[in-house]
Structure 1
């Protein structure tokens, strides 16, 4: 993954609960910056990174994810004290997604997806336990007439407490019933094999290795290697048959049929 340096704070994205912002970087690109000092701190950045790259490995469209260095001196030019505090609290390595200019929020009432794509997105979100893809907040964009997935910081909530994480890898994830695409996801069983085959152990391991050492904090593990191994174990165990998360999604969808 690339690392860029933030050079200019452009504008906050007020619709985000953790005040993400559009920034310019030293490669002249524009990015949506996710601050390590906001909300759930580095845990949400880990979730954004891991779930986003899993989605990419599954063939779904995700804006490029980059590491981004943030200089606290950028706070000096901002008049809003809240933004100043956020920038200073986030000094160092953060995460950002490529900004998609001209994109529009996916509207399930105005835009229909084919059943296979909808099923792939629901499968992903059931697997990574994404509680934040609902009709109220779809976290999907239409850009150049294609669907792009964004904002995965609310996934993988198991890592806020590592207690019994092995057993919790078999979570049914009942919250999938609220997924915005569930009514249209009629191909869940059909896409299951394809999605599973793409998430081979080497892919999962390579994604987890992307997590910076500095973000592996607040855990019961004495070494970063153990911390990473626990993420890998959770994700691989979740893929073992039967796919309880898939069964739950199919059961929830039956309510719409």
Structure 2
């Protein structure tokens, strides 16, 4: 078993939006000593968040721009980030798009847009990251699925999103099976309702209460709740956890 290097880097995709899980996670991980690379569609925002993280936590951080649905852009972003950071040990696939279109109204373009970002993007980033990880004999990959995949929707987003997020779970298990012997673990997180803007804008108190009623804790989740789960799954201590889907959903879906 290869141990972690003294200095570790994590690359996060989709981590530049002001109220998203990614930005909260970047800060949470940097606070715990991780150097951070950020890939976002908005390159200037990615670089601004990286600068903010570096200043706040005294770690190395860098940002790059890429549409994760475009493999060439993803590879170029990794190629730009890796020389600026300590050894890449972890990847967190956070880039995602919601899709509230009912199934009978889904156009081919909408279907391809959602699958392109939420599933293909996970593959492209993972494929590039694990080239480095397998060469070094150690790595952690965590990707965002959703309870929407497990329940068949029932959230803000509908079928195209659920299909993509279910694909992430199957992808995670298969890659975990193939890469375990290389010292790389691969896991997914399935969040329930989280207070971010991906569900159609800032949530009203009334909407939060309605969403919370589905779970058993009487509240919806925060980006920090998800960040804490990510921090565990990419930690050295989680080296015996792979191929799993961790639900961070307040008990909304128990399986």
TM tier, smaller: under 0.3
Structure 1 length as normaliser, TM-score?
0.28
Relative to its length, the structure with more helix (as a share) is 2
Question: Which has the greater radius of gyration?
Answer: 1
Structure 2 length as normaliser, TM-score?
0.28
